[in-house]
């Protein structure tokens, strides 16, 4: 279930708030257990006395008007998107002391961040499936003028579904911004998680758009596939400076086995300037699936990568010899369109 601070909760952050287990919220939600407590909120498991099912209740620690408005917006945005990959919000209200709370579906599973911390670099096909679900949510949100602004592994939840692969849930729309909303963010104020911020977020620009979420998606994919974020620094200021400068280690240097389309999509999503990035989330999905032509510079780099990979494969053949087998390093080029077309892998001559 999502952690209380927009799931970047750690056990070291313990706020002095009342223990509400055993109480009833809003005359309807009987609190049965605490699921997680962070610096800004606590999430509880509860029983909906009216419908008889189990839900999650998120209660803020603060009654500050800004915190109240953020939670109310989180409830409104999540409910308004109506997307299967968004955690369903079913109710919003206030305790007797005016502390706000919201009621959500109870998710069973783990966050992508937790998976990364325990497993490390992930399978390409799995990562692409997660990415396309996240980008689907972002497409709908951006189309309605809503920018998430805090896409990161801990805000991507992998909900267990019986007999099916995990269903992705994008969490924490609490700091999302909408074109029509003013007053909750100010110029020069940085909102988000530094390691996954776009350069324009780091610089505190206010006129951000959907491309800032696309940048963050590129960072998440980079980390999922390599096991490390693109920029690592000893201090927050050094990290932000590195993000603004750019120049992360090319992902193909760390994962030479990646399909070129995936490497290109991640590289383009993480461009320092906004203009070269994908204009929409659907465009990034198309690129990840190989439906976008790769520029010549990338094509040339891909040729070099495949040559290196071929050398490795032939030097250390698994289970005997590669004689008579077309390796994954072999590709064919169509005309002079600078577009690659992967040939069948493992096909016998």
pLDDT value at 7 more than 60: no
Are the CB atoms for 212 and 205 separated by under 8 Å? no
The region of weakest confidence among 221-235, 246-260, 300-314, 320-334 is 320-334
Core vs surface per residue 280-318: b (16+ CB within 10 A) or e: bbbbbbebbebebebeeebbebbeebbeebeeeeeeeee
Q: 124 vs 54, 163, 176, 260, CA distance in Å? A: 34, 21, 29, 12
Task: List the catalytic residues.
Answer: 150
Q: Which pLDDT band, with edges at 50, 70 and 90, does 302 fall under? A: low
pLDDT value at 23 more than 50: yes
Q: What is the mean pLDDT of residues 70-87?
A: 85
Superfamily of domain 24-105 in CATH is: Phosphorylase Kinase; domain 1 (3.30.200.20)
Highest mean predicted confidence (pLDDT) among 231-245, 295-309, 330-344:
231-245
Q: What is the mean pLDDT of residues 35-49?
A: 88
pLDDT at residue number 321? 43
Q: What is the mean pLDDT of residues 91-115?
A: 91
pLDDT at residue number 15? 42
Q: Where are the domains of the chain?
A: 24-105, 109-292, 298-342
pLDDT at residue number 103? 93
**What is the pTM for the complete model shown?**
0.76
Long-range contacts of 286-294 (CB under 8 A, 24+ apart): 287/261, 288/128, 288/131, 288/132, 288/261, 288/262, 289/128, 289/132, 289/261, 290/259, 290/261, 290/342, 292/261, 292/264, 292/265, 293/337, 293/338, 293/339, 294/260, 294/261, 294/264, 294/338, 294/339, 294/340
Q: Which pLDDT band, with edges at 50, 70 and 90, does 41 fall under? A: confident
Core vs surface per residue 242-256: b (16+ CB within 10 A) or e: bbeeeebeebbebbe
What percent of the chain clears pLDDT 70, i.e. is strictly above it?
Answer: 74
The region of weakest confidence among 40-49, 62-71, 193-202 is 62-71
For domain 109-292, the CATH class is: mainly alpha
pLDDT at residue number 298? 59
Q: What is the mean pLDDT of residues 277-291?
A: 96
202: tokens are 């780091």
Q: What is the mean pLDDT of residues 233-237?
A: 90
Quick: pLDDT tens for 135-174.
999 999 999 989 999 999 999 999 999 999 899 999 887 6
From the list 80, 99, 77, the residue with the least C-alpha distance to 150 is: 77
Quick: pLDDT tens for 168-197.
999 887 655 544 344 344 444 445 688 999
Q: Which pLDDT band, with edges at 50, 70 and 90, does 73 fall under? A: confident
């Amino acid at each position: 279930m999502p952690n209380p601070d927009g799931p970047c909760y750690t056990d070291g952050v313990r706020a002095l708030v009342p223990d509400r287990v055993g109480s009833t919220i809003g005359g309807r939600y009987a609190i049965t257990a605490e699921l997680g407590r962070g610096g800004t909120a606590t999430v509880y498991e509860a029983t909906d006395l009216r419908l008889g099912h189990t839900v999650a209740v998120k209660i803020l620690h603060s009654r500050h008007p800004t915190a109240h408005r953020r939670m109310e917006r989180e409830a409104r945005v999540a409910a308004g998107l109506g997307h299967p990959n968004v955690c369903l919000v079913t109710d919003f209200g206030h305790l007797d002391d005016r502390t706000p709370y919201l009621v959500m579906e109870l998710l069973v599973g783990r966050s992508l961040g937790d998976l990364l911390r325990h497993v490390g670099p992930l399978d390409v096909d799995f990562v692409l499936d997660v990415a396309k679900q996240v980008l689907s949510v972002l497409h709908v949100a951006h189309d309605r003028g809503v920018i998430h602004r805090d896409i990161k592994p801990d805000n991507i939840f992998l909900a267990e579904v019986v007999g099916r692969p995990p269903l992705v849930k994008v969490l924490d729309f609490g700091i999302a911004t909408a074109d029509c909303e003013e007053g909750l963010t100010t110029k020069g104020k940085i909102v988000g998680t530094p390691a996954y911020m776009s350069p324009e977020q780091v610089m505190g620009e206010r006129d951000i758009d959907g491309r800032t979420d696309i940048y963050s998606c590129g960072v998440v994919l980079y980390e999922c596939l390599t096991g490390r974020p693109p920029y690592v620094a000893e201090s927050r200021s050094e990290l932000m400076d590195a993000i603004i400068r750019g120049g992360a280690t090319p992902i193909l240097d760390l994962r030479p086995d990646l399909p070129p389309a995936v490497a290109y999509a991640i590289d383009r999503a993480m461009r320092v300037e906004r203009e070269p990035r994908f204009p929409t989330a659907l465009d990034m999905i198309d690129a990840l699936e190989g439906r976008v032509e790769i520029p010549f510079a990338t094509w040339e780099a891909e040729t070099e990568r495949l040559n290196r990979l071929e050398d490795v494969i032939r030097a250390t053949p698994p289970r005997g010899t590669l004689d008579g087998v077309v390796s994954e390093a072999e590709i064919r080029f169509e005309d002079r369109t600078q577009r690659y077309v992967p040939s069948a892998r493992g096909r016998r001559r």
